[in-house]
Amino acid sequence: MSLEISPPTMPAWGRSVHRFDHLRGKIMGHGSPLMPTGSIRGIDPVETWTILVVESQDEYREALTEDLVRCGQKVQAMTGGRAALDCRPVADLILLGLELADLDGLEVCRALRAGCDTPVIAIGSQVSELDTVLALRAGADDYVARPYGFRELMARMEAVMRRAHAHEHAPEILERGPLRIDVRKREVVFKDRVIRMTRKEFELLLLLALNRGTVVSRDRILDQIWGGSWSRRTLDTHVSSIRSKLGDRDWIVSIRGVGFMMDHI
C-alpha cells in the first residue's frame, strides 16, 4: 500500500485530523507499538527502526505516526513526557515534541539523556538559534522546527543514526595521558574525575582524541558530529563547554581558520 505525501510546502502534520481518525484508540498513552504496513512514495529508508514518538498534540502525533509506519518503521507513541520517563521504552530513536502538556520538553530531554543513550531528535515550533542551542544543550542530537517536510525528517533521522554508530569500531577504552574515555559506557574520566558530558560533547571529544596531534577541520567536525546542519557557533559553544568541564583549556587547541586539535598530553 502506498501513501502519497504532500510537497514540502504542505507538511505532513498539517493534514486534516479526520484523515487519521482510524488511528485513534490504536495509539495509547502507554505506547502500543504500530507495525509497518507499507511505504511512502519517494522515501526508501535504509533500515527499519523502533521509534518512540512523544507528542501531546493529537494531530501531530497521529500524522507523524502514520507517516512513519507507512515508511516501514515500528512506532511507539506516547502522549506525554511522564509516560515516556516512567515506561523507559526500548527504542532505536526518540522523536520528542518539546511542547508537552505535562512536563517541560527540555527537562524530559535531559532526563532521557541521563537515563539512556538513545538518540533524540527534538521537535519544536520555534525557528531560532536559541531554541536550537537549548535543545542541543539538553542532550538532543538534532532539532527540527515546524513546519517541516517528512522527507527532511527522514533524512535527519538517517543522519542521526549514522552518527550514533560512527564510533562502533573505536577501541572500547581510549587513554590520552590523564584522560580516559570508555567508549562502550560513554564515560569520561579526567585526572581521576568523572566528567559528565552530553552526547555531542562526548562525540566531539572522542573524535579529537582519536585524531590526537592532528588538526580536525571545522567542516569535518560539523559534518561528522552534526551532519553539517549547524552553525560554527554551535561548534564553538561545545568546545567551550568541554574545556570548562575539563578545567584545562590547553587540551583542545584552536587552529585559527582551520579547526581544533587535541595536543596537550
User: Quick one: pLDDT at residue 118?
Assistant: 87
Indicate the helix (H) or strand (E) that contains 262: strand 259-262
Neighbours of 45 (CB within 10 A): 18
Round the average pLDDT of the chain to a whole number and report it: 80
State the Rg of the chain over Cα: 19
The answer to whether residue 13 scores a pLDDT higher than 50 is no
Residue appearing with cell numbers 514540502:
8
User: Quick one: pLDDT at residue 32?
Assistant: 41
Which has more confidence, 74 or 43? 74
Residue-wise pLDDT tens digits, 53-66? 999 999 999 999 99
Ordered by where they begin, the domains of the chain are: 2-164 (3.40.50.2300), 173-262 (1.10.10.10)
Report d(CA 240, CA 141) in Å as an integer. Answer: 18
In this prediction, residues 80-93 reach a mean pLDDT of 86
The answer to whether residue 169 scores a pLDDT higher than 70 is no
**Band of residue 240 on the pLDDT scale cut at 50, 70, 90:** very high
Q: By C-alpha distance, which of 252, 200, 254, 256 is closest to 224?
A: 200
In this prediction, residues 126-143 reach a mean pLDDT of 87
Indicate the helix (H) or strand (E) that contains 249: none
Beta bridge partners of residue 261, listed in sequence order: 253
The answer to whether residue 10 scores a pLDDT higher than 70 is no
User: Quick one: pLDDT at residue 46?
Assistant: 59
- The β-bridge relationship of strands 120-124 and 142-145 is parallel
User: Quick one: pLDDT at residue 265?
Assistant: 55
Give the largest Cα separation in the chain, rounded: 62
Which ranges constitute the DSSP H helices of the chain? 58-70, 81-87, 105-115, 129-137, 150-164, 199-210, 218-226, 232-246
